Structure formats: C-alpha cells, structure tokens
A and B are shown apart, each in its own frame.
Chain A
C-alpha cells in the first residue's frame, strides 16, 4: 500500500506546484505596483506605522520605497533574485544587505516585506486537502531563503492563503501569518487585504500588513537596477 501512496504523491505534486503558482497569481499579478501599510503593535498597545510603495515584476524583481514614517522616508530596497540592496537617502548610495536583516524592526524582516512569489522560492513537497482547504508543505529551493519550510493553508474557494506557518531548518516555528478580509483590488485580483503576523520570538507583539491598492502594471527591467533605486518615487507618477 505504501509504494502506491508514494506513487500517488509523486503524481499529484506537479499539480500541487501549479496550485502554488495559482495562489501566487491570485495574490499579485506578474507585474504590478502596490501600496501597503505595516503596523507594529507592541505589548503595551503602542504602535508604529510604515507606508510602503512596491513595484514587482516576474518572479525575482522587486523595489520598495518607504513613504512613511518620516524617519524612514526615502529608504528604498531593491531585490533582484538573491541580491538585495538598501538605499538610505543620507548614505546616498545603495548598499548590499542580507535578507534576514530587519529594515523596520519588530516582527517583519526584509523577506516578509520584499516577498517574491512563493513558487519562486519554494517547492511543494506534500499536499493534503479536506472539503474547504488545501494544506501545502513547502520546502525552500535553496538556503538563501529566510524560512526553510512553510505550512500553507489555502482556501479552496478563493485559492488564496488563510495561514502560513514559517519554520527554520531546525523545525522551529519562527512566525505565523494569518490572511484575512478578502477584497477585490482589480479585475482578477481578489485576495486577502490583511496579513497578521505573530511570532513566538516577539511575545505580545503583533504586526499587521494592510494592502491599500494593487494595480497590474508593466515595468521595464531597468526599473529594477541600482541606477533607479533612488528614483523609485518617480514610478508613482
């Protein structure tokens, strides 16, 4: 019986990877611009908000620009595959950074903010399902990814994530992302508008990511270069 089950698993995995790509497409078009708000809530209820403008193209290109708060305004990050740079207006030039470093502090790290498609960084190694949801076990394609393993619960109806648990290579739970509030952003883009994040490493802290606008838009590859990291704001107009 066991060899048969293993055979069935192998047969279904290509479909599972297709499913992951469909989840990606539902979350964000291949090429798009978006605005999102990050809120770090501390145990005493105090909070700090960040406003981000992001442009994404394909599976491996993304630039982000902080619009708020004033202490972070003008900071921009560029991700080109595994390469990541940070531009700080005072420093005046891009500096290579590590994906695990935190740009904003709190529960979010760079990879959470500059997340590429799940299917670009992970492959499905196991798929389960019940009447309302799929449960995908995702493994990082290489060790440059911030989380080695993800357990993703996908809503069958909308084909969007409901929950993503992020684990380290030592099977330690690093954080859990809860996707909420399904909303239509543009034709064909119906996705959760809110992602809540909690981490056992930040007890009592909560981080919220609120999507305000997602617009499919074509961008030239040159947008995702060091020359333009200081000019991301120009793309907004």
Chain B
C-alpha cells in the first residue's frame, strides 16, 4: 500500500518540478493583434470640511460624500508589415453623490509607419508625454496637463502628425532623436488646445550625451505665443537620479521643474520635485477664489517615499506622498499600500488628508480627508 502512495507523491512532485522548470514554447507565439488593459473600480469615502466656502455655497448639510468610478482601459496594436495601428480606449462610469456620468474617450488611435530603422511617422491621436518630470511637465507643450495626484494614469492625447528621426552613435553622443510635430486645431479637432483654427509646429531634439538625457523643444504657433523648452535627466549614481525642465513662452510666462530620485540602502525610493510657474496663483489669489483649479498655484514641492516589499511582503509596496503648495503652505498627504495578487488583481488603498488654513488651496477643499480604494484587474 505504501509503495503506490509513495510513487504517487513522487509523480506529483515530479509534475510540479517539470512545471516550474519546463518552458511552454506556445507562450511565445507571435500574434498580429495584441491587446492589454485593465478593469478598475474605485471608491472614495470622503469626510466633508464644513468650513469650506464650497460647502456653504452648495448648501450642503451632510458630513460625508461617496464617489465611485469604474473604468475599462483597452490598449491594442495591430501589426501589418511596417505598419502598426495603435489604440488606447477608455470607458468610464462615474458616480458622485448619487448622480452618474458615462464617459468614453479615445486616448490614442494612430497609425505608425516604420520607413527605415532611422525614420518613422505617426499619424492620428497620440499622447507624446514629453518631459522628464514625474508629477509636472512644464515643457510638455503638446500634452494635456498631468494630474499630480495620479501621475501614472494614462490620459488623452491630441490629433497630430509626428515624424521621427532616430540615430545611434558610438562615443560620448550615443543617441540623437528629432521629432517634428504638426498639430492643427479647429472647433472640431484639438479644440481644448485652442478653440479656433490654428497651425502648430513643434520640434524636439533629444540627445543622450555623456550619459545624460537632454531635450530642446520649440513650439511655433500661428495663433498663440511660441514656446521654448529644455529638459534633462541624469543618473549621478546608480541610486541617484536628477531631472529638470524649463519652459518659456516668448513674451510670456516661464516655468520650471527640478527633481531627484534617490534609492536608499534599505530600498526606499525618494522622489522629490519642485515646480514653479510664473503666472500661477499667489497666496492672495487663492484666498480670493472659492474653488481654485487644481494645482494652479505658482509653486509646489512634492515628495514621494515608497518602499517595495515592506515588512518582507513580496509584491507589495507602501508609499507616503506629500503635495505641498509653497505659496500658502497647504498640503495633501497620502499614505498608501499596494498589493499585486498572483491573479493580476492589484489593490491600492490609501488614506488622504487635505491640510491648511481655510483660505488655502488644500485647506478650503470641500473634502477634509478621504479613504480611497482602487482595485485593478489587468488583462
């Protein structure tokens, strides 16, 4: 009796071993249509700030606001010889205080044609994501503004034609890339960039020079002021990176960002950025506005501390984020925990507090603090 049992255990063990140590060649099969994406469900339990001017304006008499968001993001690439069709589509269902809204957005949908190893062209709706900043990108002239609270989220691009020249070299200059972008606007196309007819031409020169990422950007517009941008990023050590951006509107505003990323011996990643915009709101401007637009002040200081595998929990990450308005010293603080399960489900739970005087940006928000649960299933 014991031998068959032993044989069964041995066979089971061998099967387990074979599974871990074998390689399924079917898993690397190449397909002409590839897709990925996620289904996400978010819920916010928000305590209300009864001293907020907005609370009084809306005549509220409750203490709590519930919001939920369900989102499906679908990315795909269709390959055909030297052509590719690339898309990212988002469907969102939002519910705030019981009133709901459906939003369907084409984030990206463009055709890519590789002319040669050095030349390529993209045509359609595309997110360029220029700049080296993590929370802010003052030099990303042809991108929609990023949300510093969720900088890693995908967002909508603009319709454009983009020619790319890319060349590698041996020596101190390792890579040169030139982007030429034509982006028209009208009442029907790219109208939140400029509401009327306009022609916008941008060029970006990128260099990997002495192990430093450098970019020089120029935006010409026949209806708005031209803009000039500069970005850089460099690893001073393998655990210490610095980056920055400068943007100047000719005869207009200027903005800049300076930041660094530092990884400590205990694998804590510290990401800090300072952002300044010459035409942002001052403390007095914010005081006199009931509901200032998010992140519209002159300057911010953002810190994020994240630790992978906290308390030895593999596939987990813990983070603390502080978004500080350096005009009125109000801030949003977030303490969060992320865990990715083996079935491609990721849970992000955070507790967030708005702090500051009730005349300040974060202090006058209608929400004083909130618990935020995000569950994302990747496919």
A residues contacting B by CB (< 8 A) are 35, 37, 39-42, 46-48, 51, 53, 67-71, 73-74, 80-84, 88-93, 95-102, 105-106, 144, 181, 193-194, 205, 208, 210-213, 220-222, 224-228, 233-234, 236-237
Is B70 interfacial (CB-CB < 8 Å)?
no
Knowing A181-B21, A220-B117, A222-B117 are in contact, say whether A74-B238 is a contact too (CB < 8 A).
Answer: no
Task: Please choose the segment from B47-55, B166-174, B321-329 that sits at the chain A interface, where 4 or more of its residues have CB less than 8 A away.
Answer: B166-174
Map CB proximity to A onto B201-244 as digits: 1 under 8 Å, 0 otherwise.
00000101001010000000000000000000111011111010
Q: Is A100 within 8 A of B117, CB to CB?
A: no
Show 14 residue pairs from A and B whose CB-CB distance is below 8 angstroms, ordered by the A residue.
Answer: A47-B342, A69-B342, A88-B152, A105-B309, A144-B238, A208-B20, A208-B21, A210-B23, A212-B24, A221-B168, A222-B166, A233-B77, A234-B79, A237-B79
Closest 4 CB pairs of A and B: A221-B168, A212-B23, A93-B129, A70-B378
The segment from B4-12, B28-36, B295-303, B351-359 that touches chain A is: B28-36
- For the complex, give the distance between the alpha carbons of A40 and B342 in Å: 11
- B20 to chain A: which residues have CB within 8 Å? 39, 41, 47, 208, 210
B121 to nearest A CB, angstroms? Answer: 13
Instruction: Check if B308 is an interface residue, CB within 8 A of chain A.
Output: yes
The reply on B46 being an interface residue by CB < 8 A is: no
Q: With A81-B211, A102-B267 known to touch, is A228 a contact of B152 (CB < 8 Å)?
A: no
Interface flag for B370 (CB, 8 Å):
no
Nearest CB on B from A44, distance (A): 11
Other-chain residue from B152, B238, B309, B340 in contact with A90 (beta carbon distance below 8 A): B152
Name the distance in Å between B376's Cβ and chain A's nearest Cβ: 8
Complex Cα spacing A146 to B340, Å: 26
Nearest opposing residue in chain A for B118, CB measure: A222
Q: Chain A residues with Cβ under 8 A from B208's Cβ?
A: 80, 83, 225-226
**Which chain B residues border A193 with CB–CB below 8 Å?**
23
Q: Kindly identify which residue among B168, B239, B269, B379 contacts A225, using a CB–CB cutoff of 8 Å.
A: B168
Q: Give the contacting residue for B177; candidates A88, A212, A220, A226; CB below 8 A.
A: A226
Say whether A53 contacts B28, CB under 8 Å.
Answer: yes
Residue of B nearest to A227 (CB): B166
Which residues of chain A are within 8 angstroms of B342 by Cβ–Cβ distance? 46-48, 69
Please give, as numbers and ranges, the residues of chain B lying within 8 Å of A222 by CB-CB distance.
117-118, 166-168
B27 at the interface (CB under 8 A from A): yes
B175 touches A226 (CB 8 A): yes
B77: A residues at CB distance < 8 A: 233
Determine whether the beta carbon of A71 is less than 8 Å from that of B346: yes
Q: Would A35 and B28 be within 8 Å (CB), given that A89-B36, A222-B167, A225-B177 are in contact?
A: yes
| Cα A102 to Cα B340 with chains together (Å) | 14
In the complex, the answer to whether A70 meets B344 with C-beta atoms within 8 Å is: yes
Name A's interface SS: mixed
Q: How far is the CA of A71 from the CA of B40 in the complex (A)?
A: 12
Q: Is the CB of B340 within 8 A of A71?
A: yes
Question: CB distance A42 to B23 under 8 Å?
Answer: no
Contact of B167 with A98 in the complex, beta carbons under 8 Å: no
Given known A-B contacts A48-B315, A234-B79, A101 and B177 have beta carbons under 8 A apart: no
Which B positions have Cβ atoms within 8 angstroms of A?
Answer: 20-25, 27-28, 30, 32, 34, 36, 75, 77, 79, 84, 114, 117-118, 127, 129, 134, 151-154, 164, 166-170, 174-175, 177, 206, 208, 211, 213, 233-235, 237-241, 243, 261, 263, 267, 269, 308-309, 314-315, 340, 342, 344, 346, 378-379
6 more CB-based (< 8 A) A-B contacts, given A211-B23, A236-B28: A48-B342, A98-B241, A100-B263, A213-B25, A224-B168, A226-B177
Q: Cβ of A73: which chain B residues have Cβ within 8 Å of it?
A: 36, 378
- Whether A91 pairs with B168 at a CB distance below 8 angstroms is no
Whether A98 lies near B25 (C-beta < 8 A) is: no
By the criterion CB–CB under 8 Å, are B213 and A70 in contact? no
Q: Given A70-B36, A70-B379, A220-B117, does the pair A237, B30 have CB atoms closer than 8 Å?
A: yes
Q: Choose one: B134, B168, B263; the contact of A101 (CB below 8 Å).
A: B263
Is A74 a contact partner of B117 (Cβ separation < 8 A)? no
* B233 closest partner in A (C-beta): A96
Q: How far is the CA of A236 from the CA of B24 in the complex (A)?
A: 17
Q: Are B36 and A74 in contact (CB under 8 A)?
A: yes
Question: CA of A83 to CA of B23 in the docked complex: distance in angstroms?
Answer: 31
CB distance from A39 to the nearest CB of B (A): 5
Q: Which residue of A lies closest to B16 (CB)?
A: A45
**Which among B28, B235, B240, B261 is the interface contact of A83 at CB below 8 angstroms?**
B235
Q: For residue A98, which residues in chain B have a CB less than 8 angstroms away from its CB?
A: 235, 238-241, 261, 263
| Cβ contact within 8 Å between B28 and A51 | yes
Given contacts A80-B208, A105-B309, contact A233 B34 (CB under 8 A): yes
Would B238 and A82 count as touching, CB distance under 8 A? yes
Most buried by B among A51, A95, A102, A213: A95
B273 to chain A, nearest CB (A): 13
A170 smallest CB distance to B (angstroms): 11
CA distance A194 to B21 in the complex (A): 7
Q: How far is the CA of A220 from the CA of B166 in the complex (A)?
A: 11
**Cβ contacts under 8 Å, A102 to chain B:** 267, 308-309
Contacts of A39 in B (CB 8 A): 20
| Least distance between A97 CB and chain B CB atoms (Å) | 8
Shortest Cβ gap from A2 to chain B (Å): 38
Q: Which residues of A contact B175 (CB under 8 A)?
A: 225-226
Which residues of chain B have C-beta atoms less than 8 A from A208's C-beta? 20-21
A96 touches B261 (CB 8 A): yes
B144 to chain A, nearest CB (A): 12
Which among B23, B118, B151, B238 has the highest number of chain A CB atoms within 10 Å? Answer: B238
